[in-house]
Structures are given as structure tokens and as C-alpha cells.
Structure 1
Amino acid sequence: MLTIPINQPMQRSRGEASVALEHGTAGMRLTGLRQQGSAKCILPYGAVGRGGAPEVVFLNTSGGLTGGDALSYAMTLGPRARAVATTQTAERAYRSSGGAARVRVAMTVGADGWLDWVPQETILFDGSCLDRRTTLDLAPGAGCLLLESVVLGRAAMGETVARVALRDWREIRESGRPVMVEPLVLTDRALQTGAAGLAGARVFASVAMVGQGVADLLDPVRAVLDEAGVTAAASAPDGRLMLRMMAADGWPLRRQVARCLAVLRRGQPLPRVWQM
């Protein structure tokens, strides 16, 4: 008879994926690719080697995160390189039996380059514990667009979130100098304290855009902040463009995010893995 020790440590997922792109005479070219464990990186057919910005898709093959898991995504763009990076689907943080799931995202953009980091939503399930840190380093003349969306359970599935622990740090640096630092801590207590707990909203998103001329997009993006069921606002302090959005349901917010991205990305289509 097989005996299973009750104190046997549970297996945890580990994943690291990194990609490097450079701008050459024939357009963008891949100069580095590394994949390990549950993290993968896909460049859709035809996305590299042509002019314009290639798409890079990161994915976690473990199907989600729980306490003790570790996931790392990294990208390096050379001078004048441009790219759009996203995730294959929504990331899921499941109930933790101990400890936090750790996610690290590190992106570097060379001089006069540009990166759109537009991952799909992060879904937090009841009892989840997630520690995430996202950093974008910009060289002189470089710029970026950074999106983050969080869903507190899936309303269509009747899910509610009463217990959660989220520590989320987002930072953009220009030539090593921080130009945006956003720490977020979301706990059980915060969910129960009115406005500090999102005033009943189940979904929220933030968009940050840094680069030359981004303030010129403030009025155009404000003009599309009218999706029914979504509360949203935009501002442009010190050469940055910031958007905040929240809603009681994920689908209206996703539509609002898509409309904002269409303006900010000057009509470029959403990444092909997005389903709208």
C-alpha cells in the first residue's frame, strides 16, 4: 500500500522568459530569446523582420499562480527599436495555502525606442496572495505605454472576493531617474472600507504613458471616457499621461480600455491575442 507523507512539500511552478530585439536596416530582428520552466515567449509569424512594431506574447503554461510560485518576464529593446508586448490570456492568481506568488516584469527600452506593455487582465480569486513588481527603464528619447488591469473574481461565474492580498509595484525610470512610482496594497480590510476599497468596483485599470508629446493625447482620450458603467479620469502631469478606470463588471471596462488604447496607439489594432 502506498503511503503519502502528509508533510510532503507541494510542487511550485517556476518560469522565466526573456526576449531581446534590435532595429536593423531590414527592420526589427530578434537577438535574444530565453525560456525556462512555465514561462514562454511567442513571436507570431511575420511579426519580426518587417518594418513597424512586432508583437511579443508572454504566457504562463502552468495555468495560473498560487502561493510559492515565481514568474519572470523580461524584454530588452535596442536603440530605435519598437515593440508591442502582451500576455496570451488573463493571468490568474488562485487561493494560496501559504506564502505569496511572485511576479517580476523587467523591460528596458533603448534610446529613441518605444514599448507598449499591454498585458491582459490579472484575475484575483478569493484567498489569493500576489506580489508583483513591474519596472520599465527608458534610455534618452525612449517612451512607453504601460497598462495594468485587475479583476476581483469573475462576476459571470458568481465569484466573490472577500480575502485577498495584493502588493503591486509599478515603476518607470528615465535614464535611471524615477518618473513614475506606483505602489498598491490591496487587503481584506481595504475591500471593506468604502472608497478606499474601490467603492464596490470589482475591476480596475491604470494606464501610464511616458514620452515626448504624450500630453497632446489628453483631450482625445478624455473624449472617449464615456463607456456606460465605467468611472474614468485622465490627467497629464509633467510630461506623463495617466488614466484610471474602474467598474462593477469586467466587460464594460475591457471595452473602455480598448477604446483608450485605440486613441493612445493612434489607431493601431489591439494585439492579435486579445479577444474583443
Structure 2
Amino acid sequence: MSAQADAAAISTQRVKARARIEVEHRAGRSRLARLYQDGAAKIRLPETSADPLEAVLINMAGGLTGGDRLDWEVSVGAAARAVLTTQACEKVYRALAGHAEVDVRLSVGAGGFLGWLPQETISYDCAAFSRTLDADLAAGAEALIVEATVFGRSAMGERVENGTFRDRWRIRREGRLVHAEDFSVGPDIGKTLNRPASGDGRIAVATLLLVSERGEQLLEPARQIVGDDGGASFWTVGQTGKLLARLYAGDGYTLRKRLMPLVALLNGRAGLPKLWSL
């Protein structure tokens, strides 16, 4: 890239957006306590007649590229229940300079439940993306955290050869670290995903983490849905039970065929977010 083009990329207006939602249990059900929105980050609340409270996250910019910054913060109070999803798949476009950054901060009070269920992230060729997710759970709190990524839309003839993609999770319960992982791929994404030990040509991946003791009873049904293209396990860290499942597929459509029933299973009585089936 020439110095002139480099300067133009850096000076281009970038997205700096942030939104926060707080949910509390009041008068027998989960209700909105606070809502803050800044920039392109918006949160909408579809009408629901019973728990959990549903919220939809919207990036009004229509996608992310290098230099963009998007922050989501969710706080669920004691005994409250909330499920958050996105209006559509988040798209990460080619970066001319810098990384697109997403920061997610989640907290759940005692006896509460949070389902963090965004639709897939679609990464384009030469995209640069970095996401951090931190969750703090109180005693007896539960959380279902899902992130799925598709590296290029096969049906559109798109291929991802180059770029960077980083994802960092830190999950704590009662202040104790119960789950940590760092996923990083790039700059030769295409070559990496084609290796037998990594993707073996599969370009769509998903991670689902259920922090809950009930995960042990859901392990076998989860394994039946996952099948051979992925895996699921349950174990206990201290007094905290967690079920971890991973899926991979050759394209986003094939991934979603298993991802949707798995989310519905792990999300309990809330089932699958309505927007996922539209």
C-alpha cells in the first residue's frame, strides 16, 4: 500500500460504538433496568410475555473493518433471565489499516441466567479482527455463550486466503477462572484451515459453552447433534460444571443445520432465539 493510500485509510471515519443493558428481576419477572446506547450500537427489546427477557443487538454501521471499535456490556441481576442475540450475522470486511475490535463484558447475579447467542460472524478476505469476551458469574448463576464464525461465504464464491482473526475468552464464577481460551488464525488463513490438523478444508466453526451443572444431563443429547464433525465434553472446575461443544463444517449453511438445534437444546426452556429461524 502506498503512503498516500495508507494515510487515507487511517484518516477515514471509523465506528466507535458502545451499548450497555442491565436486566433485573422485579415483580415476578425479568425487566429492563437500564439501557445505554452510543454511536452505531443499538439494542432493541422485542415484546415477550414471559421470561427470559430478549434483547437484539444491532450494529447500524452494517459491518466492521480495520479501526472500528464495538463494545457490548450486559448485566443480568440476581434471579433474572435474559437472552441476547444479533439482528443478523456480523460481517468483518477487508481492512486497509488496523483491526476491527469487539469487546464483550457479561455479568450474571446469583441464580440468574444469560444466553449470549449472537448469529455468526462472517470474515472476508484480508479482514483483521480481534474480539475479547469476559464474563463474571455469581454463585448459582448460569450462562450459555455461543460464537460461530464463517471464513467466506462459499455459496457466493468467496474465499478467505489472508487476514487475521483472534478471539479471547475469560469466564469466571465467584471470581474463580473456570474457562479460558485463545483462538488465533492468520495471516495465511486459507492455508491454515486446509491443514488436516486444523480445519482440513472446513471454513465454518462454532464454540458453545454452557456454565451450569445441568450440562452433564445434556452431554449425550449434545453429542448426538454434534456428530463426527466436532465434539462435546463436560467436566467440573471446583464446584462449577461446564459443557463445551465445538462444531465445524465446510460452509455456513451446513454448520447452522447443527448449530441451531444445539443452541435450542442448551438454551433450555428459552429455546432458539426467534431471529435465528427467520
TM-score by length of 2: 0.91
Percent identity, aligned pairs only? 38
Alignment partner, residue 211 of structure 2: 210
| Alignment pair present for 1:55 and 2:54 | yes
Alignment-derived partner of residue 23 in structure 2: 21
Q: Which residue of 2 aligns with 1:99?
A: 98
Deviation per residue, 1:2-43 (Å, 9 max, x gap)? xxx974511101110110010012311211000000100011
The one-letter amino acid of 1:213's match is R
Within 5 A, what are the aligned runs for 1:180-199?
Answer: 180-189=179-188, 191-193=190-192, 194-199=195-200
AA at the equivalent of 1:54: L
Structure 2 CA distance, aligned partners of 1:204 and 1:271?
20
CA drift at 1:72: 0.6
Deviation at 1:60, TM superposition (A): 0.3
**What secondary structure sits across from 1:222 in the alignment?**
helix
Verify: 1:123 aligned to 2:111, yes or no: no
**1:258 Cα deviation from its structure 2 partner:** 0.8
Gaps in structure 2 of 5+ consecutive residues: none
Where does structure 1 lack aligned partners over 5 or more consecutive residues?
none
**Residue 51 of structure 1, CA deviation:** 3.5
Q: Residue 123 of structure 1 aligns to a residue in which SS?
A: strand
Q: Secondary structure at the match of 1:195?
A: coil
Structure 1 CA distance for aligned equivalents of residues 107 and 157 of structure 2? 40
1:208 and 1:173 map into 2 onto residues whose CA distance is 13
Cα deviation for residue 267 of structure 1 reads: 5.4
Higher helix content, 1 or 2 = 2
Would you say the 8 A contact 1:141–1:212 is kept in 2? no
Alpha-carbon distance, 1:275 to partner:
3.1
In 2, are the aligned partners of 1:18 and 1:34 still within 8 Å (CA)?
A: yes
Asked if the contact 2:69/2:101 (under 8 Å) is kept, the reply is yes
| Equivalent residues of 1:63, 1:92 under 8 A apart | yes
Asked whether the equivalents of residues 22 and 35 of structure 2 are also in contact (C-alpha less than 8 Å), the reply is yes
Is residue 203–residue 248 contact of structure 1 (8 Å, CA) maintained in 2? yes
Instruction: Report how far residue 52 of structure 1 moved.
Output: 1.5
Q: Does 1:35 align with 2:34?
A: no
User: CA–CA distance in 2 between the matches of 1:177 and 1:266?
Assistant: 25
Match of 2:234 among 233, 236, 246: 236
Given candidates 262, 270, 273, the residue that maps to 1:271 is: 273
> Does the 8 Å contact 1:94/1:124 carry over to 2?
yes
TM-score (ref. length: structure 1): 0.92
- Partner SS state of residue 274, structure 1: helix
The answer (yes or no) to whether the contact 1:190–1:197 under 8 Å persists in 2 is: no
Correspondence list, 1:132-151, <5 A: 132-151=131-150
SS, match of residue 44 in structure 1: coil
CA RMSD, 1 decimal:
1.6
Paired residue type of 1:94? Y
Q: How far has the Cα of 1:190 moved from its partner?
A: 5.3
Kept after mapping to 2: 8 A contact 1:16/1:39: yes
Q: What is the alpha-carbon distance in structure 2 between the residues aligned to residue 152 and residue 167 of structure 1?
A: 13
State the alpha-carbon separation in 2 of the partners of residues 132 and 149 from structure 1. Answer: 12
Specify the alignment match of 1:178 in structure 2. 177
